[in-house]
A and B are shown apart, each in its own frame.
Chain A
Amino acid sequence: MTRALWLAAALGLGAASLEAQGVMVAPHAIYIDHRARSGSVLLYNPGTEAVEVTISTLFGYPVTDSSGAIVLRTVDAPDSTLPSALAWIQAFPRRLTVAPLERQTVRLLARPPVGLPDGEYWVRLMIAVKAGTIPITGVSDTTAIQVGLTLEVRTIIGIAYRKGPVTTRVMLSQLRAQLVGDTLITWSRLERQGNAAFVGTIRGTVVDSTGATRASFASPLGVYFTMEPRIASIVGKLPRGRYWLRYEVVAEREDLDPAVVLPAPTVRDSVQLIVP
């Protein structure tokens, strides 16, 4: 509830108080069923100026780099070994203008190839937004140089196309944790199984020697193949002693319709933490 109120405030009051430009994109993840073969995205302009929007698609999926940061790996021309829907999911219209306080719908249409095997196929939708006009003011001093840069934004969200039975689960290993000041840093290896991405949440709980909870965190993530995420969470300064980190990966997401979150067994592990 708090989050929704905050979002409402951000949309309503924020747009009014700031001379800002932007667009709301919802939802931030799209699931298309093979039987429907279509979907949509809502664009809403909370600002006071029209925005020009360009829609395009690309193929990519989250991975982790050597430091554990989650990044998007893009593939310009995905081959048949990758579950790409880039070639057969299209968005309409590809160019549009969203007037102030107006909404527009972008339709997604899938034309999968005949004989497409059961499974989940991915593509990313890029929504590029820029203001309709760039204000230009004259320079009163004709010898002066004025410099300004216009900022444009691109929102990239995921589309998953599901055909037939889709399953997923995740394997958890190599859990490590370290307390640095008031921050808990965790690493783990997550390996997805099945024929669909694992979409869920990492939950961590720090308990002391009596079993009392001293801190907790939650981090939504999607495991498309394999990743080793590093997650830093502020847990506060813990007194000297021994603690346990209870770490679990669950197939639950607060931000998604439960109907699109594939069920999967929860996986758990724990590791000891010592504050000297």
Chain B
Amino acid sequence: MSNRPARLFVLLAALGALGVPQRGVAQGASASFTVRAVVVTIGMTIVTVRDLNFGTVPKGVATTVQPTAATAGEWQITGNPNAFVTIAFTLPTQLTNIQALPGSTMPITFLANSARWRRANNNPAGGNAFNPAVGATGRFGPNANPTLYIWIGGRVNPAVTAKPGIYRGTIILSLTYL
């Protein structure tokens, strides 16, 4: 606890440097200036680093993106060192062609090892594999790097009769501080 004031100060300085507004108030001839700062403890920041992208896929052939691939979806989460969080997904079963008439869809599946998480290391190789349909309990990194990375892949299998266009869907990641 001894470094707490310094920690808060640095965090406030960081927020200030990032453009968090501060309020100046002038009153009458003798102007005064008050600076408001929001004192926060360590929060949690979830950043979507990259969407899951299958790119252009051939009809009638299954295309799989591994969670270790450069096109896998990725999140970076910063939080309390060593803290546990539950990782849960809401996954689509169909993707929708946003350029075709309504009803043009494509199935998408997620394998038992389609997701990974890792503490303090932005490299999915060596991460903890898990089934995104089941979820997992992850953990932030230690004091020096209190981050958690999550990756997700999947598989699409467009039918031979699938209409061309852009197919879109949404994956929801839920993280719960425990």
A binds B: yes
A-to-B contact residues, CB < 8 Å: 1-8, 10-12, 14-15, 18, 20-29, 42, 44, 46-47, 60, 62, 69-72, 101-103, 124, 126, 128-131, 134, 136-137, 139, 141-158, 217-222, 252, 254-258
Distance (Å) between the CB of B69 and the closest chain A CB? 13
Contact (Cβ within 8 A) A148 B168 = yes
Say how far B78's CB is from chain A's closest CB, in angstroms: 5
A-B contact pairs, 12 of them (CB 8 A): A4-B11, A5-B10, A8-B11, A8-B17, A11-B18, A42-B38, A46-B45, A69-B136, A145-B158, A149-B108, A150-B168, A219-B82
Question: What is the distance, in angstroms, from A254's C-beta to the closest C-beta of chain B?
Answer: 7
Are the C-beta atoms of B47 and A22 separated by less than 8 Å? yes
Residue from B4, B18, B164 having most chain A Cβ neighbours under 10 A: B18
Q: Which residue of A lies closest to B91 (CB)?
A: A149
Check A147–B177 contact: CB distance below 8 A. no
B42 touches A255 (CB 8 A): yes
Contacts A26-B43, A255-B42 given; indicate if A152 touches B82 (C-beta within 8 A): no
Report if B93 contacts A (CB, 8 A): no
- Determine if B173 and A20 form an interchain contact, defined as CB atoms under 8 angstroms apart: no
A218: B residues at CB distance < 8 A: 82
- Interface residues in B42-61 by Cβ distance below 8 A to A read 42-59
Contact indicator B147/A27 (Cβ below 8 Å): no
Verify if B174 is at the interface (C-beta below 8 Å from A): yes
The distance in angstroms between the C-alpha atoms of A217 and B145, with both chains bound, is 15
CB < 8 Å: which of A14, A137, A157 contacts B76? A14
Nearest neighbor of B47 in chain A, beta-carbon distance:
A22
Q: B1–A254 contact, CB under 8 A?
A: yes
Tell me the nearest residue of chain A to B164, going by C-beta: A143
A153 and B46 contact, CB distance less than 8 A: yes
CA distance A116 to B151 in the complex (A): 44
CA distance A121 to B128 in the complex (A): 35
In the bound complex, CA of A141 to CA of B47 (Å): 32
The contact size tier of chain B is: 35 or more
* A27: chain B residues within 8 A (beta carbon): 40-43
B residues engaging A (CB < 8 A)?
Answer: 1, 3-4, 6-8, 10-11, 13-15, 17-21, 38, 40-59, 63, 73, 75-76, 78-84, 86, 92, 95, 98-99, 106, 108, 136-137, 143-147, 152, 154, 156, 158, 162, 164-178
A10 proximity list for chain B (CB < 8 A): 45, 76, 78, 147
A145 partner residues in chain B, CB cutoff 8 A: 56-59, 106, 158, 162, 164-165, 167
Complex Cα–Cα for A21 and B4 (A): 29
Closest to A9 in B: B14
**4 residue pairs, one from A and one from B, having the closest CB atoms:** A26-B43, A8-B14, A22-B47, A147-B54
Are the CB atoms of B174 and A149 closer together than 8 Å?
no
Task: Give the nearest-CB partner of A67 in chain B.
Answer: B137
CB contact under 8 A between A11 and B166, given known A2-B144, A24-B44: no
Is B53 touching A26 in the complex (CB atoms < 8 A)?
A: no
A103 to B95 alpha-carbon distance, docked (Å): 33
> Please, how many angstroms separate the alpha-carbon atoms of A158 and B81 in the complex?
17
| Given A44-B18, A147-B54: 13 more A-B contacts, CB < 8 Å | A3-B42, A4-B10, A8-B11, A46-B18, A101-B19, A139-B166, A145-B106, A148-B168, A150-B168, A153-B48, A156-B177, A219-B84, A254-B1
A220→B80 contact, CB < 8 A: yes
Contact partners of A151 in chain B: CB under 8 A: 48, 51-52, 73, 75, 152, 170-173
Complex: how many Å from CA A254 to CA B55? 44
Residue of A1, A29, A149, A221 near B92 (CB, 8 A) is A149
How far, in whole Å, are A14 and B49 apart by their CA atoms in the complex? 10
Q: Is the CB of A24 within 8 A of B166?
A: no
